[in-house]
Amino acid sequence: MPDAINQSDRIAKQLPPALAEFIKEAGRVAASQGQNLYLVGGVVRDLLLGRANLDLDLVVEGDAIELAQRLLQGKPGKITRHPHFKTARLQWDNMSIDLTTARSETYARSGALPTIGPGTMKDDLFRRDFTINAMAISLRPNRYGELIDLYGGRSDIEHGLIRILHEKSFIDDATRIWRAVRYEQRLDFLIERNTLRLLKRDVDMLDTISADRLRYELECVLHEEYPEKALRRAGELGVLQKLHPGLKGDEWLARKFEEARASAASYNLYLALLCYRFNANEIEDIVSRLRFPKPQAQVLRNVASVKSKLPALQEPELLSSAVYRLLHGYSHTAIIAASVASDSSIIRERLLLFLNTLRYVRPALTGDDLMEMGVPAGPRMKEILQRLHEARLDHKVRSKEEEADLVRRWLGSKK
């Protein structure tokens, strides 16, 4: 790999000019305070790979919050401080940078969040998950662009390998198992042989991880460009089943995810398809296991409910009003998931008819109009408005005047 040691040219070519100039100036400001500042983590990896990444992390061997204040002194921008973690986020002109104090980490027990203490840059790199993410670039003026690679990250990038830094890595934090799978599939790398052995050995350590952290790892997978790749690999390794034994990362899911991307796929749609083959009890089980927030839990419950309506949607000569009654009240995402998952053309057609047309249909007459026609407020008015809605859906009336004529006939028949 050319230009392996100094990365200043890569920074200039791959980062927006304003961002590149800012981190260069940040290095000068830190040095003037006797501090060393580094570009670290995923952006360093992606600079070496030639991949776009504007998610910038800086680490200072000093006080990150104090440095952040100096960097924005007299400039427009916003600082979000996190004193407990000794971190700050700088935001300006639609750009943001995370600034962290170099630190060390220790784990009181497997699966626990780490205890953070002060540290050197070497400590800070050693606490990271994989060698390819444990590199840094110096921003100090006299060393600007110098690559710090203490654990062989550059070599692993050259050979396309995902490698942990030490034997207890997955024991300390089993969420790294999910990240190993995710990076492997995103980058088209391979999990290094010994790392794979340790992953298989330690897969049960995922049971030590809280529901919230496991759900976050699943969210990260479903935000990947091709999440089905990581889900397939996770299934092969027995990792996916740790979220729920019924989950499958198979060819059906890969095909449905690909179809979903044609419908502007979202996290919620991917999640709905991942759990689509579950019954209502299994839905409740995974909602409880991963403690899904209310919006996602509701989508998954809606999926189970919409699935139960699909046989009725296949009935011949089904009126539009009947389609509306079957699907009204369910989330857009659940209905899209059912349309992607179903292999029946008539079911897909009726689901899309509801989404694209029927859910927008409303009577032209209002309650005030009905009162002027002599309909009192109450159950009778509600009944007439509902019947008007159905008549509109079924194209029995097409204008306000036709609606009014129909109401008069109904009122006349009552007399």
Is there a shared CATH topology between the 1-159 domain and the 160-244 domain? no
pLDDT digits (tens, 9 = 90+) for 56-101: 999 999 899 999 899 888 778 888 998 877 899 998 877 889 999 9
DSSP string, 276-309: TT--HHHHHHHHHHHT--HHHHHHHHHHHHHHHH
pLDDT value, residue 114 = 65
Contacts of 152 (CB under 8 A, 6+ apart): 131, 163
pLDDT recorded at residue 10: 93
Check whether domain 1-159 has CATH 2.40.50.40, yes or no: no
Which pLDDT score, from 0 to 100, does residue 269 have? 97
- What pLDDT does 74 receive? 72
State the pTM of this model: 0.89
Residue-level pLDDT at 294: 97
Domain chopping of the chain, boundaries? 1-159, 160-244, 274-358, 367-414
pLDDT tens digit sequence for 201-240: 999 999 999 999 999 999 999 999 999 999 999 999 999 9
The pLDDT value recorded for residue 254 is 97
- How far, in Å, CA of 126 to CA of 105, rounded? 9
**What pLDDT is recorded for position 3?**
43
pLDDT for residue 46: 95
- Give CA–CA dist 95/18, Å, rounded: 10
Q: Which portions of the chain are predicted below pLDDT 70?
A: 1-5, 105-115, 414-415
CATH 3.40.50.920 fits 160-244, yes or no: no
- What pLDDT does 2 receive? 37
**CA-CA distance, 347 to 314, in Å (whole number)?**
6
Please, what's the largest Cα pairwise distance for the chain? 96
pLDDT at res. 1: 37
Average pLDDT, the chain: 92
